[in-house]
Chains A and B, each alone.
Chain A
Amino acid sequence: MAQASVCSVSDLSVAYHSGDGWLQAVRTVSFDVRRGEILAVVGETGSGKSTTATAVIRMLPANGRVISGSVMFDGRDLLGLSTGEMRKLRGQQIAYVPQQPMSAFNPTMTIGRQVAEPLVIHRGVSYTKAAPEAGRRLKEMGIHEVTRVMRSYPHQLSGGMLQRAMIATAMICQPRLLILDEPTSALDVTIQRQILSLIKQVQADYQLAVVLISHDLTVVSQVADRILVMYGGRGVEVGSTQELMTAGRHPYTRGLLRSTMSSGVEHKSRLPSLSGYPPNPQEVDREPGCPFRPRCARAVSECGEKFPPGTFQDGHGWACYNPEPLS
Chain B
Amino acid sequence: MSLVAQAVSRHFTTSRRWPLPPEVTVGVDRVHCSVEPGQTLGVVGESGSGKSTLARLMLGLLEPTGGRIEFEGRRMDSFGHTEWREFRRAVQPIFQDPRSALNWRHSIEEIITEPLRNFGQGAEERKQKALALLQQVRLPTHVLQRQTSDVSGGQLQRVAIARALALDPRYLVCDEPLSALDVSVQAGVLNLLLELQGTRHLAMMFISHDLEVVRHVSDRVIVMYHGAVMEDAPATDLYRQPRHPYTQVLLGRASPLPEDAAMPATAPAEAVRTLDSHCPFADRCPLRQARCFEERPALRELAPGHKAACHFA
Whether chain B is bound by chain A comes out as yes
With contact pairs A188-B209, A189-B209, A262-B212 given, residues A277 and B155 touching in the complex (Cβ less than 8 Å): yes
B23 at the A/B interface (Cβ < 8 Å)? Answer: no
Cα distance A252–B185 in the bound complex, in angstroms: 12
Residues in A whose Cβ lies below 8 Å from that of B211: 189
Cα distance A286–B228 in the bound complex, in angstroms: 52
Contact of B191 among A160, A260, A270, A295 (CB under 8 A): A270
Could you tell me which residues of chain A, from 247 to 294, have a CB within 8 Å of some CB in chain B?
252, 255-256, 259-263, 265, 267-268, 270-275, 277-278, 280
Contact (Cβ within 8 A) B182 A278: yes
Contact (Cβ within 8 A) B209 A274: no
A98 at the A/B interface (Cβ < 8 Å)? Answer: no
Cα distance A278–B250 in the bound complex, in angstroms: 30
Contact (Cβ within 8 A) B184 A278: yes
- Min Cβ gap B159→A in Å is 13
Contact of A261 among B47, B184, B216, B262 (CB under 8 A): B216
Cα distance A85–B74 in the bound complex, in angstroms: 71
Query: What is the size, in residues, of chain A's interface with B at 8 Å between Cβ atoms?
Result: 39
Contact (Cβ within 8 A) B153 A45: yes
Residues in A whose Cβ lies below 8 Å from that of B182: 44-45, 215, 277-278
- Min Cβ gap A74→B in Å is 35
B270 at the A/B interface (Cβ < 8 Å)? Answer: no
* Chain B residue, CB-CB nearest to A148: B260
A143 at the A/B interface (Cβ < 8 Å)? Answer: yes
- Min Cβ gap A248→B in Å is 14
With contact pairs A261-B213, A261-B216, A268-B217 given, residues A188 and B46 touching in the complex (Cβ less than 8 Å): yes
Residues in A whose Cβ lies below 8 Å from that of B249: 190
Residues in B whose Cβ lies below 8 Å from that of A271: 187, 190-191, 216
Residues in A whose Cβ lies below 8 Å from that of B136: none
B27 at the A/B interface (Cβ < 8 Å)? Answer: no
As a 0/1 sequence over residues 12 to 49 of chain B, the CB contacts with chain A under 8 angstroms (1 = contact) are 00000000000000000000000000000000001100
As a 0/1 sequence over residues 132 to 160 of chain A, the CB contacts with chain B under 8 angstroms (1 = contact) are 00000000001111001100000000101
- Min Cβ gap B111→A in Å is 18
Contact (Cβ within 8 A) B212 A261: yes
Contact (Cβ within 8 A) A215 B183: yes
Contact of A189 among B153, B187, B250 (CB under 8 A): B250
Contact of B259 among A44, A161, A278 (CB under 8 A): A161
Contact (Cβ within 8 A) B213 A188: no
Residues in A whose Cβ lies below 8 Å from that of B215: 261, 263, 267
Contact of A190 among B194, B236, B250 (CB under 8 A): B250
Residues in B whose Cβ lies below 8 Å from that of A265: 216
Interchain Cβ contacts under 8 Å between A and B, 27 examples: A44-B182, A45-B182, A143-B260, A144-B258, A149-B260, A160-B259, A188-B209, A189-B211, A190-B256, A216-B183, A217-B183, A252-B184, A259-B183, A259-B187, A261-B210, A261-B216, A263-B212, A271-B187, A271-B190, A273-B190, A274-B187, A274-B188, A275-B188, A277-B154, A277-B182, A278-B185, A295-B184
Q: Which 7 A-B pairs have the closest CB atoms?
A: A259-B187, A273-B187, A261-B212, A188-B46, A44-B182, A273-B188, A271-B187
